[in-house]
A and B are shown apart, each in its own frame.
Chain A
């Protein structure tokens, strides 16, 4: 479980996050939605510690992440998996080296054990074992995302983050990635947070939705309740995506 309390983040004079409070429960898919520049990526980066908020708390199972020292944060990060918007695969390393990277750096697994784990992760994201020898630049966008997911799950994370998992993908591949996120979340019972502006994903895989607009949390609830919500901005966004009638 991840809880965000009164989170504030400012860039120079612009307030990117204004007093955000939300609770992300484990075992379900928590989806943060909002238009570009709404603050959802800033929120995700504050939660994982890539940005330091001016005020507020980020609680991982009731432990505040922000005041933790380097070693405490490092220990917690061994339980975090993240898929970045552009996949963020290491270009100079093969797919095998990318997926095994966190295991090589932190685990005491032997080479055969690492090999086995990488093979499992590749199979889990529906990629053939021969892909392991390729470099990221030899893969399609969808395959890169899958390798990114395989790298994230290689350490058996307790918390999974996905930043715009469908960006740059065609609709068909987007649905494949969505299905994969759903399967992994169900199997691993992780606390999953997905950042997206893909409204199809909201209705396909989200269990709980958080709508961020201009740095504020404007609405939260179940996807089925969106159509009946009184939030004009959210309805406008849904309408623009063709999910509800004007």
Chain B
């Protein structure tokens, strides 16, 4: 019902687009730092672990690049980054809306005849489903860059071999699958967090609890939908 209200007719389209851009900044630009860190280190660790298991005279030097790029696109970037975003963005959304609820700011909007779910939730969901797939593309690029960098530094494989491996197995569908996951997870994070924030009753302790619930439930739903999408689409 909350989602129905959120996707109801907005009171003012100009305000909606302005708020969506603001949310894109909060969800996207402000998450770049953590996405950068997680992705780069993820690529480096993955490369080292694959090299530890695979480097031998029988395995071609391009194998590390092939495995790192495929694993990153299919699983690690969308899932790990979205789990991190569930913590950063999900808790932020739930806490913001929860605080607005307990301080009667949402009631004030209702009194003014403003569709509060549409004003508050819709821009967050729209911004998340636009920005998170873009963050995932950045994450994939950074993870591959991290892998290529550590492969070159440690001497397990040259940057040229790594890239050649990554290019040789690249399929457009893998990237599309990754973006479908990102889109789904973005919706899960923003809608679950909004739901918990919007339904807070009580005080500051309940806001904290709602924030925790939002992160835990989003993470569980991400893992369940990760499996379902893999089962359905691969």
**Residues of A that sit less than 8 Å from B by CB:** 48-50, 73-78, 80, 82, 84-86, 88-91, 101-102, 104-106, 155
Interface majority SS (helix, strand, loop, mixed), chain A: mixed
B103 in contact with A88 (CB, 8 Å): yes
CA gap between A3 and B11 in the complex, in Å: 29
Point out the residue from A85, A86, A89, A105 that lies within 8 Å of B112, measured CB to CB.
A105
Closest to B112 in A: A102
Report whether B105 and A89 are in contact in the complex, using a CB–CB cutoff of 8 Å: yes
The chain B residues found within 8 Å of chain A, CB to CB, are: 11-12, 15, 99-100, 103-105, 107-108, 110-114, 119
Are B105 and A105 closer than 8 Å at their CB atoms?
Answer: no
Residues of A contacting B107 in the complex (Cβ-Cβ under 8 angstroms): 50, 84, 88
State in angstroms the CA–CA spacing of A101 and B11 once bound together: 12
Contact with A50, one of B12, B103, B111 (Cβ below 8 angstroms): B111
B11 contacts which of A76, A80, A106 (Cβ < 8 Å)?
A106
Contact A105–B114 (Cβ < 8 Å): yes
Chain A residues positioned under 8 Å from B108 (CB to CB): 82, 84, 88, 90
Q: Identify which of A77, A84, A91 contacts B113 (C-beta below 8 A).
A: A77
Q: Are A80 and B111 in contact (CB under 8 A)?
A: yes
Interchain CA distance A239-B208 in the complex, whole Å: 42
Q: Give complex CA distance A49, B113 in Å.
A: 11
Contact B110 A50 (CB under 8 A): yes
Name the CB-closest residue of B to A161. B111
- A86 touches which of B11, B103, B110, B119 (Cβ 8 Å): B103
In the bound assembly, the distance between CA atoms of A80 and B104 in angstroms comes to 16
- Tell me which residues across on chain B come within 8 A of A88, comparing CB atoms: 103-105, 107-108
Shortest B121–chain A CB gap in Å is 15
A74, B119: Cα distance in complex, Å: 15
Given the complex, which residues of B lie within 8 Å of A75, measured CB to CB? 113
Q: List, in ascending order, chain A residues with CB within 8 A of B103's CB.
A: 86, 88, 91
Looking across the interface, which residue of chain A has its beta carbon closest to that of B106? A88
In angstroms, Cα B66 to Cα A10, docked, is: 65
Q: Which residues of B contact A80 (CB under 8 A)?
A: 111-113
